[in-house]
Chains A and B, each alone.
Chain A
Amino acid sequence: MDSLFFWRWLAILMGLVMAPTQANGATPIPEALQRTLAAKCLDCHDATEKKGDVNLEQTAIDWSDPTQQELWLRAFASIDQGLMPPPKKKQPSEEERKALLAYLEASLLKQIPFGSTPPRRLNQREYTATVRSLFHLSSFVLPPGFPNDGESHGFDNLSEGLALSPGHLEAYRAVATEIADELFPVKKSVAEKKIWKAGPEDMVLSFAAATVHGDALRLVSRSVDVFRSCSWPSRIEVKESGTYRVEVDASKFVSGVGNPFEKPMILEVRARDLAASDRSKVTSFRLLKEISVSSDASEKSVFEADLYEGETLVFRWANAEMTHEFGELSELYRDWFQKDPRFLAAWQKAIFSAGDLRPHLTTLRGRNGWELVSKLWADPGLDLREATMDSKPTLKILEIANSISGTTSIADALCHFYHERGPALELHHLKLEGPLQSVESPRDLARTKARVALTGLQKEGQSSEVFGEDVLRRLLPKAFRRDVQEETIRVYVTLLKDHLKDGHSFDEAMHLVVRNILISPRFLYHQVEGARGDAYNLANRLSYFLTQGPPDAKLTELARSQMLPNGSRLRGEAQRLMPKKFTEPMIQSFVGQWLRTRKLSSIMPDPRFAFDDSSISMARHETERFFAEMLTLNLPMTDFIDPDFTFSSREFMTRIYGAPKEGEATKDAAYPKKPKTEFQKISMDRGGRYGGLLGQSAILMATANGVDTQPVVRGVWVLENILGMPSPPPPKNVPALTPDTQGSVSPRALLAAHTKDTACAVCHQRIDPIGLALENYDPVGRWRTLWPGTKIAIDSSCVLADGTAIKDPRDSKAWLVRNIDRFSQCVGEKLLTYATGRVLNFTEKREIRSIVLANHAKGNGFRDLVLDLVESETFRSQ
């Protein structure tokens, strides 16, 4: 024992006697523990040194002082996670550590009761789901420009993040008026009959879909993409839903130089929303008529069709020879190339303009492209040496025509070949007249249905006052999602009756009441009333947690009869409401936020990864389907990390995950005969480099930026979302250290700076190894062995905080599997944070810990864990 220690000991002993805090209710620390603290902590954390602003030189703890509670919570966490004392310092014995932790835990549990969630408003998703359910308006969406929800602790439904500003309330008021208008619309005046006429010059020319030749508009492609094949009159938009009379003049255009077309041409006439996206598929527009066009001379067709408010007509030649669908497109090219080697040579020259086999497609778009090809075709000096079907340039062109770039580049130039030479379908004149009679649009019918569902029918002889009150007594408990006091009912009934008394109609009075219900805090907020243990609040919490919407009739009835809080009932209802498919809102929302799959749509992967929109949705759905499977099949928690299955397509597995590979081969039998781009459940061996949360493309993508990887970002993410150990933000005055992975220096070397600077080292010793261990995955999740732009092999080895040596990501997985309770604890905390809308406290996290351990002992199923969490005191505590 050195002398310094002796003096410190003495000081503590004196403090024990003299500590002034003891008199006013501080709890003394047992002597044995004081000795442990003194021996293992006070070297750095005494009253003079107080490293990291932590002073543990105390003989008693004044629990009434919040800063003391904060201090000992930090001490507990650091000791519990093995961060303190630091590895190089003297370590307490296992018994000492346990005793200290047990004492602190017991004290903290005694001091900190289960939490309660402050009032929080519905967030955008909950608001939308609630309105849809309450008013039977299944297509309701919030208008653009509606204020955002604030995010807090990674979720958009926490009380902390959901402020309510005057801007929000004003927006709620505006939306309330929209909803009331929808249910109780203002009567419209009767429409006047109108006649519209349109010629070719009034029709939309989009990409290469249509061209004008004198008095004719030519259509040539049957692509399902509206903007590649269709034309529509841009100055016609019907204002009234009704039956209209349509007159179309059309003819065949078949020249001597194009292919013949003996069959009748089928002209499709559909109805489209004038304001709809031109990127729509033609099949999303209602088919009105198929006209058979069989003459070279213009013929008139007349028919009647229903058009709805906001719609116009759209035309497509349904059986055209030309198409943009790339499989068929390459066949079309093949036919023409076989027929005419000069044609082939012209395309070769246009596409490989630099004389080598690198295609130059940019300038080949549209008519410009065709004019270039056309000029070459006519050139007598055209080089025909490569104009054979098996030459390299020919095969390359066919390959381009068989890919998405064929559709977007050279196909439009070929369209102009057809526009010029036929066969094409010609439109000459269009006349629209009506409405001959009004009809109810599907939307009008839905409105009527919603309204009847809301109010029911007025009984014979029933006054508007009585009927209205009857409606409100049914509506208010649904709107406020609980039983409603008589005095509150009177408020809305009075509002209704006063408005009727002022001479307004029943619809106007209901319109007014609905507007006011929708800005009441009883509607806008979760759980603003009800005592502790209130059954309605419990029903609401369960329902918004698992379905994102308000309680259904069965759950409401269980709340009303006070049966719900009973353990088995609650568990039973949780079973019933648990999501069954990956598309359900709970999975979309919880997974989207916890695992950030929501972020994917805003990441644009660098073109060199060839990761298009369908790859992104494939990656996203893999993670969502995987989570749904874990939940519905009650799979063990370790499968989150190292499963023997995933959901993907054969194509994605090969292209992104490089599977199957030797040693971690995908079992062939597991590939049923599904089309190779279609989703299926795929079995694989455990212990491989892909599969599991840390090997899934979506997560590796969401923790990168689409261009390069940042080990620090991934490290922070894993700590926070897999291990439940969030890192504090870096100090403000420190510049960000984001390694330039394009350079020749490896990120590893750059990151070494972090661990040299002691201010950084505390956190980065934890963060960087974990991030570096994932460096074998590129920004879209593909396996790589060299750092990009270098010849340096990726070294993903590291030593974890507990001393475990890791060679590559497979070892990280094995470590997590051995320490699975840490992960389960993290998931449990995320789930209950999301479910309760509050940040969990110490006592609540300890409750989750005991649930996690108990669940581990009985099989460690994920569904069981969720159900146990629902029954927890933390979940029930409002």
Chain B
Amino acid sequence: MIPPNHSPSPHAVDRRFFLRSALAALVLPRLEAHGATVSETPGARNFVAIGTYLGWHQNAFFPKETGLNYSMPQTLTPLSAARDSFTIFSGLDHRAPNGHDAWSNFLSGVTPRRYSLDQQIADEIGQNSRFASIEMTAGSGEEVRAMSYTRKGVGLPMIQRPSVLYRQLFRSEADLARTEYLLRSGRSGLDLVLEDAKRLRSAVPSADSHKLEEYFDSFRTLEKRMARQLNGINNPIPTTSYKLPTYDPITPNLQIEAETILYHLMTLALETESTRVMSLQLDGLGQVFSFEGKALGSGYHGLSHHGNDPQMIRDLVSIETAHMHCFAGFLKELQEKKTARGKSLLDETIVLLGSGTGDASRHSNRNIPTLVAGGGFQHGRHLAIDQNEVNAPLLGDLYLTLMQRLGMQVGHFSNASRNLNHLFA
């Protein structure tokens, strides 16, 4: 008996069915690069987006002063040492309506669940990497809330288990042998399937033959792709001495632990040039965190509805500060790694940190806390945008600046068609 189609969300998965699979999620193929051309010598080479489901408490994220000499706001204190490597933005958002649904606006712009920033970048600059992009989540204990969306608006599944990401990045001999076997045997079958399929051509009326030709066109692309994968299979797979814990920290209460490990793996992925585009979603549920042996007064989600209660805000900010500790560690690692071009990995990587939510307590999507690190920009400032000004810039305008820094010649993102190059370069 097939159960009725009651699925509350397109991302709710029968976890059991795909439990066995090492990859746990379908790694989607890439479309060929399109439209915009990519510069040969871009200002930055990699892109990383990090978003919290529950936003960031604005008063503890935005500095009181603007410009260079701001005093470090509470949530950002872990970043003090890296002060010159990032810029804080206030007053930016997508002008999206308020409400829960707007979470996915973060990388999608004014309309939820549209072709997201990271995927637009991956489709342009990710094509020649082992992984065009990698999507991850920490702390997600229930139905997955996608943050990245394909051109067609399909929410991409996120890797939750560090062990799965690890296996993808640093394949063992056994995994490699299995992959090679599947590719080789699969390819040997293709000729036979194709030969048999071609007999169908005569059965389909010529007026409708274009529908069947879609199949044959796709088939040829698939063949080429498998051939390319086989050719690449003997390329050296990076190795690492990094050791994972024996368990996967996937329950929501182990979110901070999961984040720490994922950041390490993200650095390794960039360092080994396994990918150039990554996104990490930081979910927020009812998990009660304990810091320094003391449990907080309420779950993460409960605290986000603080109703301006000072105790609850204090606890909420302590969680956000913990996220920021992990983030500071990531920036430090990127800063320390040197690339083949003699720059730091951070200089070559744009790191965007933000959310789709402006203020979770009020479900407001205005004035989204946003921070950009690395990417070779002139940093160290708090750039305050006055939303009340006529034609005030949008968050999408900042995204256009980021894409252009990656060498993409683009002029539009969602509802934005300018850039922030005059303020941020």
Contacts and interface: CB of A to CB of B under 8 A. Distances in A.
Contact of A143 (B13, B203, B248): B13
Given A148-B152, A363-B309, A177 B182 contact: yes
B286 A165 contact: no
A662 to B, nearest CB: 38
A174 B312 CA distance: 46
Interface string B202-220: 0111011011101101110
A371 B312 CA distance: 12
Nearest to B14: A141
Top 8 A-B pairs, shortest CB-CB distance: A366-B298, A362-B307, A118-B208, A166-B221, A234-B251, A144-B157, A363-B309, A368-B297
A536 interface: no
Given A145-B28, A205-B253, A487-B199, A164 B302 contact: no
B238 interface: no
A279 B143 CA distance: 10
Contacts of B245: 235
B385 to A, nearest CB: 27
Contacts of B197: 520-522
A365 interface: yes
Interface stretch (B1-9, B368-376, B387-395): B1-9
B12 to A, nearest CB: 8
A1 interface: no
B358 interface: no
A235 B315 CA distance: 25
Contacts of A58: none
Nearest to A227: B286
Interface in A476-529: 487-488, 491-492, 494-495, 498-499, 504, 508, 512-513, 515-516, 519-522, 524-525, 528-529
A592 B25 contact: no
Contacts of B204: 118-119, 528
A139 B1 CA distance: 10
B402 to A, nearest CB: 25
7 contacts: A120-B211, A147-B150, A166-B29, A177-B186, A205-B253, A277-B141, A363-B307
Interface residues of B, number: 96
Contacts of B195: 491
A516 B122 CA distance: 30
A275 B182 contact: no
Interface string A133-171: 000001111011111100000000001000111111111
Interface stretch (A581-589, A737-745, A804-812): A581-589
Interface stretch (A46-54, A206-214, A454-462, A640-648): A206-214
Given A139-B17, A169-B218, A173-B222, A366 B302 contact: yes
A212 B290 CA distance: 10
Nearest to A201: B290
Given A144-B11, A147-B154, A166 B249 contact: no
A278 interface: yes
B186 A170 contact: no
Contacts of B211: 118-120, 159
A116 interface: yes
Given A119-B204, A139-B16, A171 B26 contact: yes
Contacts of A520: 193, 196-197
Contacts of A519: 193
Interface in A510-562: 512-513, 515-516, 519-522, 524-525, 528-530, 548-549
A274 interface: yes
Interface in B232-280: 245, 247-254
Contact of A488 (B155, B196, B217, B306): B196
Contacts of A159: 211
B320 to A, nearest CB: 17
A592 B14 CA distance: 22
Given A159-B211, A512-B186, A310 B141 contact: no
A592 B5 contact: yes
A522 B307 contact: no
A353 B341 CA distance: 62
Contacts of A181: 20-21
A111 interface: no
B110 to A, nearest CB: 15
A277 B140 CA distance: 9
Question: Taking each of B9, B196, B204, which has the highest tally of chain A beta carbons within 10 Å of its own beta carbon?
Answer: B196
Taking residues whose C-beta sits less than 8 angstroms from the other chain, chain A's interface range is 35 or more
B142 A165 contact: no
A205 B4 CA distance: 34
A846 interface: no
A465 interface: no
A132 interface: yes
Nearest to B28: A145
Contact of B225 (A141, A163, A170, A487): A170
B192 A148 contact: no
Interface in B149-201: 150, 152-157, 160, 178, 182, 185-186, 188-190, 192-193, 195-197, 199-200
A491 B13 contact: no
Given A164-B215, A165-B214, A516 B193 contact: yes
B80 interface: no
A125 interface: yes
B141 A278 contact: yes
Given A362-B306, A363-B306, A235 B287 contact: no
A204 interface: yes
Nearest to A235: B247
B186 A278 contact: no
A227 B298 CA distance: 13
B14 A604 contact: no
A143 B309 contact: no
Contacts of B31: 165-167
B44 interface: no
Nearest to B186: A515
B42 interface: no
Contacts of A601: 8-9
B252 A278 contact: yes
B288 A206 contact: yes
B424 interface: no
A132 B254 contact: no
Contacts of A279: 142
B19 interface: yes
Interface in B276-317: 285-288, 290, 295-299, 302-303, 305-307, 309, 311-312, 315
Contacts of B315: 368
A237 B248 contact: yes
B287 A204 contact: yes
A363 B302 CA distance: 9
Contact of A529 (B200, B247, B302): B200
A588 B221 CA distance: 36
Given A170-B222, A178-B21, A363 B185 contact: no
